[in-house]
Structure 1
Amino acid sequence: MSNAIQPPKAKIIPKLLEKHGHSRTDNYYWLNERENPEVIDYLNKENEYYQKSTAHTKDFQNSLFEEMKARIKEDDESVPYFYNGYFYITRFEKGKDYPIHSRKKGSMEAPEEIMFDCNEMAKGHAYFNLSGLSVSEDNVWASFGVDTVSRRQYTIQIKNLQTGEILPVAIENTTAGATWASDNQTLFYSRKDEQTLRADKIYKHKLGTAASQDVLVFFEKDETFDVSVYKSKSKKYIIINSNSTMTTEYRMVLSATPDDKFTIFQKRTRGLEYSMSHFGDHFYIVTNKDKATNFKLMKTPEDATAKENWVDVIPHRDEVLLEDIDIFAAYLVVTERYNGLNQIRIMPWSGEGAYYLPFESETFTAYTTTNLDFETEILRYSFQSLATPSSVIDFNMRTQTKTILKEQEVLGGEFDKNNYTEERIWATAKDGTKVPISLVYRKGLKKNGQNPTLLYAYGSYGVTMDCYFSSVRLSLLDRGFIYAIAHIRGGEDLGRPWYENGKLLKKKNTFTDFIDCSQFLIAQKYTSSQHLYAEGGSAGGLLMGAIVNMAPSLYHGVIAQVPFVDVVTTMLDDSIPLTTGEYDEWGNPNVKKYYNYMLSYSPYDNVTAQEYPNMYVATGLHDSQVQYWEPAKWVAKLRNLKTDNNILYLDTNMDAGHGGASGRFEAIKEIAKEYSFLLDLEGIKR
C-alpha cells in the first residue's frame, strides 16, 4: 500500500541508563529535546510520511468528516441550570467551533447576557480552552482560566459581568480552578509548579490588587499530592482538598470570613480516603475508613470533624461500590455500582420509602448532573447507552415522575436506535476472573468470524469505562463494524477490588484481561484476528503497547492515542509532570521490585524483533500528560526492529496537547483519520 514511500529512520545515539545495578541502552533518548531542530525535523518527516502514505484516503477522510459533522446539531445548547438567581446556558452556533457561555436573570424569557464568546476569544490561536468559570455570590464577578498552548497551564482573569470589563490582572500557571468567598472580594485559586505542573499551592487574591500581592494560603509539600479549592454546596465553607492516589485530606474556612485560618477536617492518614459534603449541622463523608474497600457513608457533627466522631449512615457492602452522594433538603441521593452497572438510590431523610431509579439496559450509563439547589425535590440526571443518545432528565423524587428535558439529536434522519443491538457478555480471564465486555452493532449481524471489530479499553487509575453513545461511532457501525468496550481490571468497573487487582504489582492483569477478551470475541465468532482492531489512549495507549508486544498476531490493526509507553524512564524522572503523584499507581521505580516489574511490561523496553500489527500512533507536541517523545521513541524503535511490512504511522499534532485539537470539529477530523485507517485496512472505500 505504501511500500514505495520510505519511512524516516531516526538516528541512533545510544544512551546508557543505569539503576539498581542494571543497565539498559536507549538509542532514541535524544528525541526528548523539544527545542532541538533535529527533533522537530524528525517529527515533521514522520508527519510527511503519514500524509503521503495516506494520500489515497484523503477524499474518504473528508467525506467521513462531513458525514460525522452532518449528524451533529451545530446550533445546539445545554439544558439550562438555575443557580443563585440566574439560568446558565452553554450554546454553540452553526459553523462555529467554540461555545458561548451565557445567562438569563430569573427566567428563561429574560434577555440573554453573553458572559464569554469563546469563538471571539479564540481568534488568532491554534488552540483555545476556557475553563474554571466561577461567579461571585453577588453575581457581579466571574473568574475564568484560559489555555492557548494545550499544556493545561491556565491564566486566570476576572470579568465584571455588569460592565463587561476584564480587569488587568492575569494570574499565570494555574489549574483554572477558583472559587469566590462570600464577601465577593476574595478569590481562592490553585497554582501549579512550573516544572512538574503539579497543582501544589492555594492562593488568595483580593479584588483591586495586583497578582504579585496574592497571599499563599497553603503549600502542599508532599510531591505525591495535588491540591484544589472549592466551595461547599451549602456555600458555608471554602474547602481545600489535598489528594493522592490512596490518601485525602481536607481543610476549610468559613466562606464569610476568608481571612481566618483554615482548619484541618481530618488529618491525612496513609490509605484513608474520604470526601465530605456539608448539610445542616453535619458533614456527610464517603470514605474507606475501617477497611471499607468499596466505601461507605458516615456523618459527623460540624464542630467535631476528626474521624473518631464519624458514625455510619450507609455501612460498607462487599458487592456494592458507593461512588458519590447528592444532598437535598428532603432527600439523600446515592450513586452506586453493582455488578458493573450504575444505580441511583433515592433516600428520604425521613428514613421511609427509599427506592432505586429503574434502568432496563445492561449497556448504559446513568449519573447525576448539575444539582446546585438544596431546596428542591427535583433530581437532574443523565442517561445514555451504546445505542441510545444521551438525555438529560428532571426526576421528581416525591412523585417519582420524570421529564426528559433534552435528548441528543442525531441529524440526517437516518438514525433509529432500534436498528442496533446492544449486548453485555463475559469473558473468562486466565486466572478464572469473569470480565464484562459491552458491544453494539447493526441488527442482523451474523456471528461468522468475519465482522470487523474495534475493541476499546483504558484500565488504569480506577477509571470506569462506562457505556456511552457516540453519533460519530455510527460511521463504523453502519459499515458493518462491531464496537466493543472491555471492562478490564485497573478500572473500577466492578468495584474497588477491580482497581486494586490491576495496578502496582498486579498491573499485568490489565493487559492479559484485554488479550483474554480479544480471544473470547474470536472464539465466539464475533470476529477473527484478521478483522480485530484495538484502541486505547494515554494509559490505554500503554495497554496498546503492552498487547502488541505480548500478542501481536491477535490484531490486524491498533490505534494508540498519546500512548504512555516509556514507563520506566518516565517514572524515574521526577521533573516530568505527574510522575511523583503516580507512584501509588505504577510503583516507585527507585524501589528495585517495582523497577523490575515495570521493566517487564514497559512497551518501549520490550519492543523485539517480531511481526507487529498495522499501527496508527497519534500524539501532540505540547502534551503535558504524556510527553510527545514517548510515542516518537517507541515508533522509532519499532521501525528499527519489527520484521513485517505492516503499516506504522506516527501522526504528531504540532499545535496541540493531551486532549488533541480544541475546536469541536477539529476533534472530529482526528477521529476521521483513525476511522479511515481502520476502514482502509478492511478494504472499505466509501
Structure 2
Amino acid sequence: MSPTNAAPTPPVTAKIPTERTHHGDTFVDDYEWLREKESPQVVEHLKAENAYAEAVTEHQAPLRDAIFTEIKERTEETDLSVPARKRGWWYFARTAEGSQYAIHCRVAATDSGDPVADWTPPVIEAGVAINGEQVLLDGNAEAEGKPFFALGGLSVSEDGNLLAYAQDNAGDERFTLRIKDLRTGELFPDVIENVFYGLAFSPDATRVYYTVVDDSWRPHQIKAHVLGTDPATDTVIIQEDDPGMWMGFDLSQDRCELLIGIGNSEYSETRSLDLTDAAAEPRMLLSRAEHILHSMDPVVLDGARGYLITHDRDAPNNMVSLLPAAQVALPYAQQQWITIVGHDEAVKVEGTAVTATHLMLSVRKDTTERVQIMPLAGLGTPTQGEAVEPGFDEELYTCALANAELDSPLIRLTYTSDFTPPRVYDYALADGTLTLRKQTPVHGGYDPANYLATREWAVAADGARIPVTVMRRRELQPDSTNPVLVYGYGSYEASMDPAFSIARLSLLDRGVVFAVAHVRGGGEVGRSWYENGKKLAKKNTFTDFVRVTEHLIEAGWADPARIAALGGSAGGLLMGAVANLAPALYAGIVAQVPFVDALTSILDPELPLSALEWEEWGNPIEDSEVYAYMKSYSPYENITAVDYPKIAAVTSLNDTRVLYVEPAKWVARLREFSTGSEPIVMKIEMDGGHGGASGRYEGWKTRAWDYAFILDTLGATARI
C-alpha cells in the first residue's frame, strides 16, 4: 500500500478511453471499463479501493466502535411490535438480543362479541413466549449461512393456513418465493425465482399472485401461480411493455379485488382483477390515456360498490372523488365523478384507505404528514361529515396510518418526531379516542428535553422559501462555532419527514448541529415543490442545498470551516453536484450509493431502471435540450481542477438501483482532477444491496462508519 508511516496512497485506476456520442457531442470516458462486474481486474480494483479506505480511516476505528456501542446500548434489542389483527389471528414480530433479524409470529384471537375488546391487542412481553404463540418465519434461521438476507413480502392466506414469503440472499432485490403450510410447518415444493416485491393469495388460497421484473429490473408482469403446479406454467395476468412504466398491485380491503397500478411520476393507469373468479381478466378502471396521476380504493356505500380516486385532474395537490362502479364501463367523458375532498393549495392529499365505516386520508399539511378521518355515512352527499385530524402537542411530527382492517372499530396510527421515539396508537373510529399502545424505549439515559428541533427558512435567489430543520442539543447557541452536518435528498417527490433516530444522537452528543435541507424536488411543500426540482428545473435542488448551507452560516449555526454534507442515492447525486458547485463550502462529503453518473446511466435504456427515470430527469436520448442540461450538472462530467473536500463514497456491489460503477468511476475521476490534498475514498460492501449489508447490527456498523468519517472530518470526536 505505502511505506511505513507514510500516508496511504490510493489505487491507480487504469485509463481506457471509450467515446460516447449523442446529439453531436462526444464525451471521452476513461473509466467506463469499471462496469465489467465479473472482470477479475475490476474485482481486484474494488478490493484495492476497500483496502485504501480502510487505511485512510484506520484511526477512526475506535470512534466507530464507540458509536456502534452507543447505538446498541440505547436500543431495546429484545423487543416486539404491537400485535395487529387479521381475521382470527394477532400478528407481530419479535427481535432478540444478539439476533440480526426479526422473528415473525402470531397468536390466535378470541371473539367475545364486544368489537372494541376483540380488536384490543393482547399484552405480550418482549422475550417471553406466550401460550399458543406460533412462529411463522424466523429471519435468523432463514439467513443462516447466507451472505445476505432480506424479505420482499409476507402474505397469509385468508383461512390462515398458508404463508407465502419472498427472500433475497444476494442484495439485488430479486427474490425467491416459497409457500409454507402453517399447520404442519412444511414447505410446499413450489419455488419461484426472480420475484419482485408484493404477494397476495386468492381468497380460496389456491393461487398466489406475484410480480416479475424484466432484465432492466422493471416490474413488467403480474403472474398467478396455482399451488402445486410447475411455476413454468404460471399464468401472466398482465404484462406492461412500455419501458417507462412501473407496475405493482394492492389488495382491496375486502381482499376480493386486486388493484393493478401502472404508471410513472406524471400519469398512471388502474386495472382491477376479480380474485373470486379464477377465469377473470383485468378490467380497466382508469386509463393512462387520460394522463391523470391517481390511485384508487374500492369502497362500499349504501350497499353499492364504488371507487375512491385520489387524483390530480385540475388539482395539482390532488383531490378525492368517488366513481360509482356502475359508471366504470362508461366512456371517461361521460363519467360523473363526485367530489369528496376538494383541492387545497395548502394541503396535499397523498392517498386514502377505508374501513367498513370510515375513510382515512393521508395528507401533507404544513410540510408534514398527517391523517384525517371521515365517516362513510353520507359520503358524497350534502350530509357528508367533516374530516377530523387527531391532535398532537408537537409542531413538527409525522403521523401515518399503519393499519386499517375492514371490520375493525379501531385504526392503527404511528407517530414520531425528531426527538420523540416512535409511538403506536389505536384510534377509536366511534369517538376519536387515542390509546397509546407502545412507545419505543430508548436506553442510556435518553431525555428528549436535552434536544431541540426547530424549523427555519432559507431564501433562494429566485425568492423560494426553503424549509430547513435544525436539530441540536438544547444548550447549543448560534454563535458561529458549531460543527454542522447538512442532509438532503430532493427527488421523486420524497419528503424528509420528522423521524426519530437513535444513531443521530451520537452526532448531536458530540456537539454537531444536524440540519435537513428540504430542497426542491422533494414533496414537503406540495406538488409544485417537486415540479420545480425535476427535469429542466433540476438544478434548483442543488442550488437550494447550497443556499441552505449558506443560511446556516449566516444564522450563526455553523462554523464556516466545519460543515459536512450527507446524502444517498438521488441524494448522492445531490452530493456530487454540490461538490462541484461549492467545494470550498464543505469540509467533507459522504455520498451513500450515489447516483453520480446519471447521464451515462439514463442514456442506456438497457441499464436497470434507466427508461423509468425519463419522467424524473427527462429523456436525453431523444431530447438534445435535456441532454445538454443533464450534462451541465451530472457530477461525473463536471469534475474540474479544484480543491475538493474530503469525500467518502459508500456503495454495494449488488445494488440494482444505483450500480457500484457510478461511485467507482466518480472517485477515480475526482482523484484525477482534484488539486487538493484531502483523501477521496470508496467503501464497497461486497455482499450488499441498495441499503448496504443486511442485518440490524451490520446496519449499525455501516451508520457508525459514515458518522465516524463525518465526526473526524469536523473535528468533533469527543462527547460534550
**Structure 2-normalised TM-score?**
0.93
**SS of residue in 2 equivalent to 1:616:** strand
Which AA in structure 1 matches 2:618?
Answer: G
**SS of residue in 1 equivalent to 2:502:** coil
Which AA in structure 1 matches 2:514?
Answer: Y
Task: Tell me the distance in 1 between the aligned counterparts of 2:501 and 2:682.
Answer: 26
How many angstroms does 1:226 deviate by?
2.0
Q: Does 1:158 align with 2:161?
A: no
**SS of residue in 2 equivalent to 1:640:** helix
Task: Tell me the distance in 1 between the aligned counterparts of 2:430 and 2:272.
Answer: 33
8 Å Cα contact 1:188-1:203 kept in structure 2: yes
Match of 2:9 in 1: 6
Task: Tell me the distance in 1 between the aligned counterparts of 2:604 and 2:387.
Answer: 51
**SS of residue in 1 equivalent to 2:62:** helix
Q: What is the 5 A alignment of 1:474-623?
A: 474-590=505-621, 591-623=623-655
Q: Find the partner of 2:341 among 314, 322, 328.
A: 314
Match of 1:420 in 2: 451
Q: Find the partner of 2:389 among 353, 356, 360.
A: 356
Q: What is the 5 A alignment of 1:341-490?
A: 341-350=368-377, 351-352=384-385, 354-371=387-404, 373-412=405-444, 414-490=445-521
8 Å Cα contact 1:62-1:672 kept in structure 2: yes
Task: Tell me the distance in 2 between the aligned counterparts of 1:655 and 1:73.
Answer: 27
Match of 1:221 in 2: 241
Task: Tell me the distance in 2 between the aligned counterparts of 1:360 and 1:438.
Answer: 18
Task: Tell me the distance in 1 between the aligned counterparts of 2:709 and 2:6.
Answer: 16
8 Å Cα contact 2:370-2:398 kept in structure 1: no
8 Å Cα contact 1:248-1:273 kept in structure 2: yes
Q: What is the 5 A alignment of 1:265-284?
A: 265-269=285-289, 271-280=291-300, 281-284=304-307
Identify the range of structure 1 (648-657 vs 108-117) with the bigger mean alpha-carbon deviation: 108-117
Unpaired segments of 5 or more residues in structure 2?
A: 111-121, 123-129, 378-383
TM-superposition CA deviations, 1:242-300 (whole Å, max 9, x none): 12222211221222113212211112126311111111123343333432111100011
How many angstroms does 1:374 deviate by?
2.1
Q: What is the 5 A alignment of 1:46-65?
A: 46-65=49-68
Task: Tell me the distance in 2 between the aligned counterparts of 1:244 and 1:682.
Answer: 40
Q: Does 1:331 align with 2:353?
A: no
How many angstroms does 1:363 deviate by?
2.4
How many angstroms does 1:685 deviate by?
4.0
Task: Tell me the distance in 2 between the aligned counterparts of 1:659 and 1:131.
Answer: 13
8 Å Cα contact 1:8-1:45 kept in structure 2: yes
Task: Tell me the distance in 1 between the aligned counterparts of 2:5 and 2:248.
Answer: 49
Match of 1:113 in 2: 134
Give the 3 Å change call, closer, same or farther, for CA 246–119 of structure 1 in structure 2.
Answer: same
Task: Tell me the distance in 1 between the aligned counterparts of 2:498 and 2:238.
Answer: 39
8 Å Cα contact 1:2-1:53 kept in structure 2: no
Which AA in structure 2 matches 1:408?
Answer: T
Task: Tell me the distance in 1 between the aligned counterparts of 2:9 and 2:197.
Answer: 44
How many angstroms does 1:330 deviate by?
2.4
Percent of pairs with identical residues: 37
Q: CA RMSD in A?
A: 1.5
TM-superposition CA deviations, 1:186-243 (whole Å, max 9, x none): 11111111x2111101111111111111111111011111222332112221222212
**SS of residue in 1 equivalent to 2:664:** helix
How many angstroms does 1:460 deviate by?
0.2
Which AA in structure 1 matches 2:317?
Answer: N
**Structure 1-normalised TM-score?**
0.97
Task: Tell me the distance in 2 between the aligned counterparts of 1:582 and 1:270.
Answer: 21
8 Å Cα contact 2:299-2:308 kept in structure 1: no
Task: Tell me the distance in 1 between the aligned counterparts of 2:649 and 2:707.
Answer: 13
Q: Find the partner of 2:92 among 77, 89, 93.
A: 89
Q: Find the partner of 1:304 among 319, 327, 336.
A: 327
Task: Tell me the distance in 2 between the aligned counterparts of 1:250 and 1:353.
Answer: 28
TM-superposition CA deviations, 1:513-552 (whole Å, max 9, x none): 1111110000000003311111000000000000010011
TM-superposition CA deviations, 1:559-601 (whole Å, max 9, x none): 1000001111100111111111110101111111110110000
Match of 1:183 in 2: 204
Q: Does 1:634 align with 2:654?
A: no
TM-superposition CA deviations, 1:388-447 (whole Å, max 9, x none): 1110111223322211111111112x1000111110001101110001111211111121
Match of 1:286 in 2: 309
Task: Tell me the distance in 2 between the aligned counterparts of 1:616 and 1:118.
Answer: 32
How many angstroms does 1:474 deviate by?
0.6
Identify the range of structure 1 (346-355 vs 526-535) with the bigger mean alpha-carbon deviation: 346-355
Which AA in structure 1 matches 2:480?
Answer: G
How many angstroms does 1:3 deviate by?
6.1
**SS of residue in 2 equivalent to 1:321:** strand
Task: Tell me the distance in 2 between the aligned counterparts of 1:255 and 1:60.
Answer: 55
Which AA in structure 1 matches 2:8?
Answer: I
Which AA in structure 1 matches 2:222?
Answer: I
Unpaired segments of 5 or more residues in structure 1?
A: none
Task: Tell me the distance in 1 between the aligned counterparts of 2:424 and 2:392.
Answer: 15
Task: Tell me the distance in 2 between the aligned counterparts of 1:243 and 1:576.
Answer: 19
Match of 1:198 in 2: 218
Task: Tell me the distance in 1 between the aligned counterparts of 2:389 and 2:40.
Answer: 60
Instruction: Give the number of equivalent residue pairs.
Output: 683
TM-superposition CA deviations, 1:454-497 (whole Å, max 9, x none): 11111000111101100111111111111111111101111111
Match of 1:247 in 2: 267
TM-superposition CA deviations, 1:99-122 (whole Å, max 9, x none): 101111115465111011110110
